[in-house]
Amino acid sequence: MRENDTIAAAATAMSSSGIGIIRISGGEAFSVMKKIFRPHNKQKDMDRQPSYTMHYGTVEDEGEVLDEVLVLLMKGPHSYTAEDTVEIDCHGGRLVMQRILEAVLKAGARPAEPGEFTKRAFLNGRIDLSQAEAVMDLIQSRNKMALKSSVSQLQGSVRHQIEELRSGILYETAFLEAALDDPEHISLDGYSEKLLKKVQNIRAEIDRLLASSENGRLLKEGIKTVILGKPNAGKSSLLNVLLGEERAIVTEIEGTTRDVLEEQLQLGDISLSLLDTAGIRNTEDLVEQIGVERARKQAEDADLILYVADSSRPLDESDEEILELLKGRKALVLLNKSDLTPVVTPEMMEKKTDHKVLLISAREEQGIRELEEEIRALFFQGDLDFNDEVLITNLRHKTALQEAKNSLSMVEESIRNGMPEDFYTIDLTDAYRSLGTILGEEMGEDLINEIFGKFCMGK
């Protein structure tokens, strides 16, 4: 019955700002509004006002005027939740918003749970689960391309792709079921070969979507970029230059950085999650040893390693250890302190590694633009314009696609092994269901609650 309650929450942060919004949704939303709202035009009958209209007046609680407000009316099903919805636009500020929300709750609404407005939009069929998840991705977007991808998904790009795949699977499943039920009128002669081609085409499309998930992850979460090097190679200086501010402590004392420092960097269209680490070397200092071990661990999980080497000092066993860590990984070798007399040249370093070697000076801010261009080239081609290609940015979607692919592979195997046709329908149905979970079909209430529980209050 809680799903039939009228709910309310602050839709904007309760902080000093020009505008604050209190949202009310449910069958009694208009009734709740009328108990506390007094229109400026006292002759105005709020029951007779059309949808998508805004009205000026005051919010009152037991005769006390709390604020001058604008009230927006949206009648279901043409609202975000597909229910009657009221938004009260008041002045921003913790106290005034809190007082108005308390008045709304006193008038008959209950506090909304995290994500409950979007959950109702999903349960009422206005959006599917992939679109609901895109709402949260939209809110958390870290860069322009992540924002573009989230908007595309919110508009149904993932849904359209999944529905098309499911439609093809459903057609073949229905044909098989009909043929098995009525073999006298529907022949399956030569059908296995036709089905094999159809299944292969669908699986190829799923492979394409799965292949996009890596780019999708990088756009959504940012490129995990670990800065490695010996003590005093200039790792923290590089971090500060890239960020444009003094975030890491820089001294001449070796071992100044003892733990991992993480910062977010916007690099044009993409985001980097930059991790400055302890200098890698053999040390008797227990705390520094822990920092060095954490640096190695972060390097194992990195999308990109920036190896900073001091070009004014000879390479030693610590450099050799770092070069070993780079093998088989995406990495750039940065010969720092290029403004000093070099001891290590790019030619010398290129003999030791297959990775791109760049000359930089963190102190003089030289070579930084070239570094940024190389990072982009390592991960993306061109201007990050995917021509409206659907990117899989959600791990749950990726898992469901992989499960569907596995089921279709079982169909292919059954066809090649000459199995009876009723075996095909089992795996086709499994693939159909797996894809359906992306849209929110056949999902348990606990999982749905878990997904929406991650949303912010008021959304």
CB–CB of 228/299 below 8 Å?
yes
Which CATH number characterizes residue 67's domain?
3.30.1360.120
Task: Based on the fold, state whether residues 120 and 230 are members of the same structural domain.
Answer: no
pLDDT, tens only, 402-450 = 999 999 999 999 999 999 888 899 999 999 999 999 999 877 788 788 8
Residue 308, sorted as left (phi over 0), alpha (psi -120 to 50) or beta, turns out to be beta
Cis link prior to 77 (omega < 30° from 0)?
yes
Measure the CA–CA gap between 187 and 22, rounded to whole angstroms. 62
Residue type, 16: S
Mean predicted confidence (pLDDT) in 68-78? 96
Task: Based on the fold, state whether residues 151 and 258 are members of the same structural domain.
Answer: no
Instruction: Classify residue 89: in a domain, yes or no.
Output: yes
Res 260: pLDDT:
65
Domain boundary among 98, 126, 154: 126
Report which DSSP code applies to 366.
Answer: B
Measure the CA–CA gap between 391 and 215, rounded to whole angstroms. 7
pLDDT, tens only, 432-443 = 999 999 999 877
Domain boundary among 73, 97, 126: 126
Which CATH number characterizes residue 373's domain?
3.40.50.300
Instruction: Classify residue 152: in a domain, yes or no.
Output: yes
Task: Based on the fold, state whether residues 261 and 350 are members of the same structural domain.
Answer: yes
Instruction: Classify residue 320: in a domain, yes or no.
Output: yes
- The number of domains in the chain is 3
Instruction: Classify residue 19: in a domain, yes or no.
Output: yes
Mean predicted confidence (pLDDT) in 24-53? 95
Cβ contacts of residue 304 below 8 Å, gap of 6+?
A: 223, 224, 225, 226, 272, 330, 331, 332, 375, 378, 379
Strands 261-267 and 270-276: antiparallel
Task: Based on the fold, state whether residues 26 and 150 are members of the same structural domain.
Answer: no
Beta sheet of 356-359, edge-to-edge order:
261-267, 270-276, 223-229, 304-310, 331-336, 356-359
Res 380: pLDDT:
63
Q: CA 377: distance to chain centroid?
A: 22
Domain boundary among 87, 105, 126: 126
CB–CB of 296/269 below 8 Å?
no
The CA-CA-CA angle for residues 32, 94, 57, to 5°, reads 45
Task: Based on the fold, state whether residues 416 and 333 are members of the same structural domain.
Answer: no
Task: Based on the fold, state whether residues 69 and 205 are members of the same structural domain.
Answer: no
pLDDT, tens only, 87-123 = 999 999 999 999 999 999 999 999 999 999 999 999 9
Task: Based on the fold, state whether residues 299 and 331 are members of the same structural domain.
Answer: yes
CA-CA-CA-CA torsion for 184, 185, 190, 196, nearest 10 degrees? -110
List the structure tokens of 441. 């079909």
Mean predicted confidence (pLDDT) in 45-53? 94
Task: Based on the fold, state whether residues 315 and 411 are members of the same structural domain.
Answer: no
Instruction: Classify residue 93: in a domain, yes or no.
Output: yes
Q: Which domain holds residue 59?
A: 2-126
Res 247: pLDDT:
56
Which CATH number characterizes residue 146's domain?
1.20.120.430
If pLDDT is split at 50, 70 and 90, which confidence band does 278 have?
confident
Residue 281 has pLDDT above 80, yes or no: no
Residue whose token pair is 């809680």: 2
Task: Based on the fold, state whether residues 144 and 85 are members of the same structural domain.
Answer: no
Instruction: Classify residue 385: in a domain, yes or no.
Output: no
Task: Based on the fold, state whether residues 142 and 118 are members of the same structural domain.
Answer: no
Predicted TM-score of the model (pTM): 0.76
Residue type, 99: R
Read off φ and ψ for residue 103, nearest 5 degrees: -65, -40
Res 232: pLDDT:
81
Task: Based on the fold, state whether residues 194 and 86 are members of the same structural domain.
Answer: no
Measure the CA–CA gap between 228 and 325, rounded to whole angstroms. 10
Sign of the torsion angle spanned by Cα atoms 437, 440, 443, 448: positive
Res 270: pLDDT:
72
List the structure tokens of 365. 């801010």
Measure the CA–CA gap between 149 and 406, rounded to whole angstroms. 27
Measure the CA–CA gap between 24 and 5, rounded to whole angstroms. 11
Alpha carbon distances (Å) from 309 to 38, 235, 333, 343: 69, 9, 7, 11
pLDDT, tens only, 327-368 = 888 899 999 888 888 888 889 998 989 899 999 888 888 888
Instruction: Classify residue 384: in a domain, yes or no.
Output: no
CA-based nearest residue to 9, from 135, 100, 124: 100
Share the mean pLDDT of the chain. 87
**What percent of the chain lies above the pLDDT cut of 70?**
92
Task: Based on the fold, state whether residues 257 and 272 are members of the same structural domain.
Answer: yes
Mean predicted confidence (pLDDT) in 45-60? 95
Cβ contacts of residue 413 below 8 Å, gap of 6+?
A: none
List the structure tokens of 427. 């795996």
Instruction: Classify residue 455: in a domain, yes or no.
Output: no
Mean predicted confidence (pLDDT) in 133-145? 82
CA-based nearest residue to 207, from 442, 409, 436, 429: 409
333 or 245, greater pLDDT: 333
List the structure tokens of 44. 């105005």
Residue whose token pair is 């995990």: 224
